[in-house]
Amino acid sequence: MNRNRLFVVAGTLALTAAVAYAQMGGYTAQNLGNSSEGKTLLTVLNDLNKYYLYPVDQDKLLRGAINGAIGSLNDEFTYYTEPSNNEIDAENLSGSFGGIGVTLVGVNGDGTGGKVDNVYKGNAASKSGVQIGDVFVKIGDKDVTGAKLDDIVKLVRGPIGSAVNVTFARQGKPYTVKLTRDKVNIISVEKTVLPGKIGYIALNTFYNEQASAQFREAVADMKKQGVQKLILDLRDNGGGLLSAGVDVADQFLQSGPIVSLRERDAKPQVYGQARNQPSDYTGKLVVLVNKNSASASEVVSGALQDAGRATIIGEQTFGKGVAQIPVTLPDGGKVAIVNSAWLTPKGREIHKKGITPDIVVTDTRYTLPLNFTGGGATPGSKLTITVAGKPVTVTADKDGKFTYTGEVKRPERSSTQGEAVVDTQGDAILKRGIQALQ
């Protein structure tokens, strides 16, 4: 089986209205109208342009048809990415881009707005004094207090050497800085050595073409430091490139299959086979997972569990056991199409099931924030309530209802990319992993 086939551009797709006809040979501009459904689609598109009261956004109309076609499959892992978002996606995959050197999280209850979650040393934001917790107010002249995170990312990224004015708010007080974009490298691996000569490597994503090389360097560094006990942390790793997952698992296995793929109406075929290499890590191994460990993370943990190579500790994993082919489209967008299910070396299909850890432990790093709702207030009025000894102000909506959600506690991250910050006492899964190695 061609190992690269799942991760490279695989051609182009024409606009489709149904799956059954495509399975018989595919649609073309000429034969789309050969079926009643195809004729109906063309008629609806033309009649909207002919009769609809308001101006029709042609791009939005056609992309709506594309999303409708994909949505008919009711498969969350087959999806369309618009051209502008695909550009950001491609940058993330490459592992580097022009930017200001921060990571963002949503600031509003609905996930909109942007707040600085981390500032990386050596990049523009750090040099200008931007701090964790600063809220994006404006980028250039554009107010972004209610913008989607992806839209904020698009505005702050740009050509290396170009400048952008950003207005932040710190504790409610705005300030503006001029930032010159420079090269930002995505480091997907964080590492440290814990007491007792226990190595710790966290792999945050497989969706980075540099992730495999970064992980190999981390493993080599652990071996150089004489580490014979290692913790591999795959918590909150939602996956990415299947080839990267195979490569990571291969560094702990000397022989045997790593994963197999089963396409429609076909027998499973081995996709990744372990090789005995001098760079392999052969010491004692623990793998940490949680409910957000998915896809390639489950490939790695499933292969190591089946081989008896590692003790898996944490929560039941997400359960994404399918692989996708990414297809670049004529408009510059991309569609990811589920084309196969993957199986562990022992033939387990984990889609919608997940990997069950050998030792089950609840992830204590995230606590449910205090939240409450109320009603009966004067519409538009502000109410100040004391929460945990501190005043909290909420605003009632037009129906007199109000809500409050406290800030989610997030694990501390180092401002130095590649450096891990861990809590060996408060992090229950990590603590149990250390115990398993002692």
Q: Is the pLDDT of residue 36 over 80?
A: yes
* pLDDT score recorded for residue 16: 31
- Given a cut of 60, whether residue 18 has pLDDT beyond it is no
Q: Is the dihedral of CA 142, 143, 145, 146 positive or negative?
A: negative
Residues tagged active-site: 295, 320
Which two tokens mark 70? 């994909």
* H or E element, residue 190: strand 189-194
Q: What is the pLDDT of residues 230-285, one digit of tens each?
A: 999 999 999 999 999 999 999 999 999 999 999 998 899 999 999 999 999 999 99
With pLDDT > 90 as the criterion, what percentage of the chain qualifies?
79
Residue 17 pLDDT > 70, yes or no? no
At residue 24, the pLDDT reads: 42
pLDDT for res 239: 95
Which sign, positive or negative, has the C-alpha torsion 312, 315, 320, 326?
negative
Distance in angstroms (rounded) separating the CA atoms of residues 300 and 253? 11
Coil, strand or helix: which one is 118?
strand
One DSSP character per residue, 386-427 reads EETTEEEEEE--TTS-EEEEPPPP-----SSTTB----TTT-
User: Average pLDDT, stretch 135-161?
Assistant: 96
Residue 162 near residue 181 (C-beta atoms within 8 A): yes
How high is the pLDDT of residue 25? 53
Is 80 exceeded by the pLDDT of residue 177? Answer: yes
- Mean pLDDT taken over the chain: 90
Instruction: Collect all residues with Cβ–Cβ distance below 8 Å to 243 and sequence separation of at least 6.
Output: 3, 4, 6, 7, 212, 272
Name the residue with higher pLDDT: 38 or 9. Answer: 38
Classify 215 as helix, strand or coil: helix
- Across the chain, how many H-helices and E-strands are there? 10, 23
Q: Estimate to the nearest angstrom the gap between the alpha carbon of 220 and the chain centroid.
A: 26
**Residues 185, 187, 189, CA angle at the centre, nearest 5°?**
170
Model confidence over 394-437: pLDDT tens digits? 899 999 998 887 777 777 888 889 999 999 999 999 999 999 99
- Check residue 424 and give left, alpha or beta (phi > 0: left; psi -120 to 50: alpha): alpha
Using CA atoms of 242, 247, 249, 250 in order, give the dihedral in degrees to the nearest 10: 140
The pLDDT-based confidence of 385 (bands split at 50, 70, 90) is: confident
Cβ contact 65:18 at 8 Å: no
Phi, then psi, of 141 in degrees rounded to 5? -100, 5
SS3 content of the chain, % helix, strand, coil (to 5): 25, 30, 45
* Rounded Cα gap, residues 164 and 138, in angstroms: 11
**What count of other Cβ atoms lies within 10 Å of the Cβ of residue 407?**
10
User: Sorting pLDDT into bands at 50, 70 and 90, what band is 172?
Assistant: very high
Write out the H or E segment, with its range, that includes residue 174.
Answer: strand 173-180
Give 306-365 pLDDT, tens digit per residue.
999 999 999 999 999 999 999 999 999 999 999 999 999 999 999 999 999 999 999 999
* Low-confidence winner among 15-19, 72-76, 141-145 (lowest mean pLDDT): 15-19
